[in-house]
């Protein structure tokens, strides 16, 4: 997965800086009350409707599981008041989770993003409603699912193969050659 670069204008110079050392949490939202169903639309609404310097969230995830960059990680968001704005990255999933659940694709993207952010800075999950009298991110939103750890990559061994032989003698000859060259080697079999 990847984060889609911003394709809209924000006024980063008017945003407060947020040093990484201040960041402790990731704060989840849904877009419910927002009439604009895209990251660019939310940005427009937050600038024109709210008078902010740009989109209030750091990330937006749509129903197809596409992750859009909002604010830079180095800037404070505008999403859950104080102290949350100054110590968290804001993640907004598009939809109204008072009425329905996020899609599987949205959860999968959220899990990837959560893993990605935690590689940058260890953070703990929060919701908008932890800080304010709001339903956000909605009763059908499952924070555990949204931040579920990704399956661990299997550990791999790297095997050097120098050839496969139809005749056993030819395989044995290769082993002798390799042994002579100082590479300890052995024969394994597999079915054709």
Residue pair 128/134 in contact (Cβ under 8 Å)? The answer is: yes
**Cβ closer to Zn ion: 25 or 29?**
29
Q: Which of 136, 138, 146, 147 binds Zn ion (CB under 5 A)?
A: 136
Q: Within positions 105 to 134, which residues make up the interface with Zn ion, using CB under 5 A?
A: 128
**Cβ closer to Zn ion: 5 or 82?**
82
Q: Torsion angle, CA of 48/80/72/139, rounded to 10 degrees?
A: -100
CA distances from 128 to 136, 162, 166, 178 (A): 6, 58, 66, 64
CA distance 110 to 24: 18
Q: How far is the CB of 154 from Zn ion (least distance, A)?
A: 37
**Cβ closer to Zn ion: 25 or 128?**
128
Size of the site for Zn ion (CB under 5 A): 3
**Cβ closer to Zn ion: 75 or 128?**
128
29 binds Zn ion (CB under 5 A): yes
Of the candidates 91, 63, 71, the residue with the CA atom closest to the CA atom of residue 147:
91
Binding stretches for Zn ion (CB under 5 A): 29, 128, 136
């Amino acid at each position: 997965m990847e984060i889609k670069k911003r394709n809209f204008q924000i006024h980063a110079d008017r945003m407060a800086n947020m040093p990484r050392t201040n960041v402790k949490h990731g704060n989840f939202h849904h877009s419910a009350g927002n009439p604009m169903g895209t990251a660019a639309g939310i940005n427009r609404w937050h600038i024109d409707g709210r008078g902010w310097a740009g989109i209030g969230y750091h990330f937006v995830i749509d129903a197809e599981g596409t992750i859009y960059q909002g604010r830079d990680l180095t800037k404070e968001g505008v999403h859950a008041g104080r102290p949350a704005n100054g110590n968290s990255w804001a993640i907004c999933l598009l939809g109204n989770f008072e009425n329905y659940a996020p899609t599987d694709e949205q959860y999968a993207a959220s899990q990837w993003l959560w893993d990605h952010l935690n590689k940058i800075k260890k953070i703990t999950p929060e919701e908008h409603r932890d800080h304010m009298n709001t339903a956000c991110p909605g009763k059908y939103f499952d924070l555990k699912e949204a931040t579920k750890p990704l399956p661990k990559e299997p550990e791999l061994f790297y095997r050097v193969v120098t050839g496969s032989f139809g005749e056993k003698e030819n395989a044995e000859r290769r082993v002798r050659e390799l042994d002579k060259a100082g590479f300890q080697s052995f024969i394994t079999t597999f079915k054709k």
